[in-house]
Structure 1
Amino acid sequence: MNDPALVLVAHGTRSSRGVEMIAALAEAVSARVGETRVAFVDVLGPSPQDVLTELDAPAVVVPAFLASGYHVHHDVHGAAAQFPGAVVTPALGPDPVLAQVLRERLVEAGWTPGDAVVLAAAGSSDPRALADVRRSAAMLASLLDQRVRIGYVATGTPTVGDAVRGAREDGASRVFVASYLLAHGLFHERLFDAGADGVTQPLGVHPRIVDLVAARHDRAAVLTRS
């Protein structure tokens, strides 16, 4: 039996660069696991229901989200529940792999040990998602061996700008924003207005993230064969 197709479900963005980044991630994953399709829960299509209907076969659905809030619990799981052959994996985050990539992105942006760090997340009204962001910040703090503040781009407090100002008020001479976003888009662009000394690139198409998505698929694929 062939491995089930992978459906990578992202939020969606009006940024062509962001859409291209998700497509590139799917292409890189497909080289590892076979057929990989992309779906979006907002802004643009196709929707998860559209893709799963077209496949009409067992599928592994991987939520390309860094925290599990409304979109994961309602949109992704709700769509997959309509298709008996679909298995939903955990979201990409929180995961130690993401902390490792965040550290690499910080170094690329010019961060050095001791510079203050703000983890910039999209935010959510769902407490489960906010708890996931706190876990991610703790993982990064452990890896960096220093405090990591949290700031939110869209929903939640403190904002990224407030978190940067808070770090400076506490005496930090340099502050770096670690973009806890998967792809380019409006949210990422907003980070450059936060007053930090540097902003990392989104997590993006990193080999470790490709490995993470592929591992999510491979573990769940077993369930589609049972």
Structure 2
Amino acid sequence: MAAPALVALAHGSRDPRSAATIKALVSEVKTMRPDLRIETAFLDLSKPSFDTVVDRLVKAGFDEIVVVPLLLTEAFHAKVDVPEAIAAATARHQGLKICATRVLGMETAFLEVLDVRLREALKDNRVRELDALVLAAAGSSDPLANQAVARLARTWGTRHKLPVTAAFASAAPPAAGEAVRAFRAEGRRHIAVASFFLAPGFLPDRVAELADEAGAVAVSEPLGAHPEVARVILARYAVGAVELVPV
């Protein structure tokens, strides 16, 4: 009996860099588990679509699928878009079992990746001193999702013994530029911004633009195709595969 297929389900973007990064991340996952059938799918804007991938897996003989949402917060996409896509897929294929795992979320392991990306940005900008940090995320109309980002920011700041502020690219204040200016108003001059996004796109670009305008000394790239992120995807899959086992 074959193990359930793993579908890494991302939101999708009009920016081709986003899909390319997601596919590179999933390639990392495939390298770690070559025994699994692993597919990349997107909810919108990028290809292949979730429906296309599910149809392909069913045609290949899979009747169990574990969907790992490549999302960093439990917001609208996780609570509405993913369940609706799964419900539509199971309605089309009689006998198909699909389990959606938790989103990638605010894993402490991601702090390691943030540090790697920030060190790269600091090196590129020849920055040797920091006196404040900003953790910039997408932002959500769901206050609980924003609070989760703020908690991660505090943990990250404690780790580096630096003051830190969470900032958001949309839906909630402060914006990255506002956060940088607030620190500068306190007399801090060496402020770096970390991009808590999975892949490049409009929102991370906007964060970088606003942070640069406000005087940030460095802005990191998104998490991207890093082995730590790949390991979290596989950890989510492992839990989902167990949930598919009949009791």
- After TM superposition, the structure 1 stretch with the greater mean CA deviation from structure 2, 2-11 or 77-86, is 77-86
- Tell me how large the CA RMSD over aligned residues is: 1.8
Number of the residue aligned with 2:93:
none
Q: Which has the larger radius of gyration?
A: 2
TM-score by length of 2: 0.84
Residue 23 (str. 1) matches residue 23 (str. 2):
yes
1:199-218 correspondence to structure 2 within 5 Å? 199-218=219-238
Match of 1:86, SS state, is strand
Number of the residue aligned with 1:12:
12
2:130/2:191 contact within 8 Å kept: no
1:28-177 correspondence to structure 2 within 5 Å? 28-33=28-33, 34-56=36-58, 57-82=63-88, 83=90, 85-110=97-122, 114-177=130-193
- After TM superposition, the structure 1 stretch with the greater mean CA deviation from structure 2, 116-125 or 183-192, is 183-192
% identity of equivalent residues: 37
Shift in Å at residue 151 of structure 1? 1.1
Match of 1:123, SS state, is coil
Question: Which stretches in structure 1 are left out of the alignment for 5+ residues?
Answer: none
How far, CA to CA, are the matches of 2:128 and 2:99 in structure 1? 41
> Counterpart of 2:56 in structure 1: which amino acid?
E
Alpha carbons of 1:168 and 1:99: their partners in 2 closer, same or farther (altered >3 Å)?
A: same
How far, CA to CA, are the matches of 1:183 and 1:210 in structure 2? 13
- After TM superposition, the structure 1 stretch with the greater mean CA deviation from structure 2, 97-106 or 30-39, is 30-39
- After TM superposition, the structure 1 stretch with the greater mean CA deviation from structure 2, 121-130 or 138-147, is 138-147
> Counterpart of 1:218 in structure 2: which amino acid?
A
User: Which string of whole-angstrom CA distances, capped at 9 and with x for unpartnered residues, describes residues 153-184 of structure 1?
Assistant: 12211111101111111121111110001111
- After TM superposition, the structure 1 stretch with the greater mean CA deviation from structure 2, 168-177 or 75-84, is 75-84
Question: Which stretches in structure 2 are left out of the alignment for 5+ residues?
Answer: 91-95
How far, CA to CA, are the matches of 1:171 and 1:50 in structure 2? 53
TM-score by length of 1: 0.92
Deviation above 4 Å: which 4+ runs of structure 1? 111-114
How far, CA to CA, are the matches of 1:205 and 1:79 in structure 2? 25
Match of 1:149, SS state, is strand
Number of the residue aligned with 1:225:
245
Alpha carbons of 1:129 and 1:112: their partners in 2 closer, same or farther (altered >3 Å)?
A: farther
User: Which string of whole-angstrom CA distances, capped at 9 and with x for unpartnered residues, describes residues 6-39 of structure 1?
Assistant: 1111121122122111011111112223222122
Question: How many residue pairs get matched?
Answer: 226
How far, CA to CA, are the matches of 1:145 and 1:77 in structure 2? 40
